Amino acid sequence: MVQLSRRTALAALFFAVATIGTARAADAPVRVVMLGDSITAGLGLPAQDALPAKLEKALRAKGLDVTIQNAGVSGDTSAGGLARLDWSVAEGTDAVIIELGANDALRGSDPKLTREALQAIITRLRARKIAVLLAGMLAPHNLGEDYGKAFDPIFPALAAAHNVVFYPFILDGVAANPALNQRDGIHPTAAGVDIIVERLLPKAEELVSRVRAGRS
């Protein structure tokens, strides 16, 4: 009876330790990296007004323990994001928001190459068990209808194929609005970033929920 009691006590102790460990893992901060170009980097803005900083603040205001690392590089293309993926997204990252493709379109890059680079990024992140939010981009109208028909569907198609969280157009509500863009007409002002955050927030919350669900 004494030996059985000791075994029962040890089993209970191990169970309690395992339960505490699991609870701590589930409650740990969600570590997000925003992999992007100048829109992510916050070109022309103070660091606190950049998109990752403001999105993190908005998520925290919702009671979510989230940190977002700014991995934006001005001028970067989807191929550039792929080339630096491993050192931009460190071990321990729970989720990545991909914001790439604008510079591909501005340069008139072959949409096939953009698709291949973005697909490789998503595939490698998913292989690492990292949740993904893909932010879409639309081609400028001056590139012509044919280019838009080849470029614009890349993002929804990839999101559907890989079952990742999808936000259709990162500059929704901001693009072509002089009041929300800097003098170059391309990069959002702080007020423009606020609009992006407001509209992107529900998808970011969905991303965090996927991370939490994966921990349970």
The number of beta carbons lying within 10 Å of the beta carbon of residue 129 is 10
pTM: 0.88
pLDDT in tens, the chain (216 residues): 545 566 665 555 454 444 444 444 667 999 999 999 999 999 999 999 999 999 999 999 999 999 999 999 999 999 999 999 999 999 999 999 999 999 999 999 999 999 999 999 999 999 999 999 999 999 999 999 999 999 999 999 999 999 999 999 999 999 999 999 999 999 999 999 999 999 999 999 999 999 999 987
Q: Residue 41 has which token pair?
A: 């980097």
Catalytic residues: 38, 184, 187
Class of domain 29-215: alpha beta
The DSSP code sequence of 28-92 is SPEEEEEEESHHHHTTTS-GGGSHHHHHHHHHHHTT--EEEEEEE-TT--HHHHHHTHHHHS-TT
Q: Where are the domains of the chain?
A: 29-215
Residues 6+ apart with CB under 8 A from 16: none
Residue type, 91: E
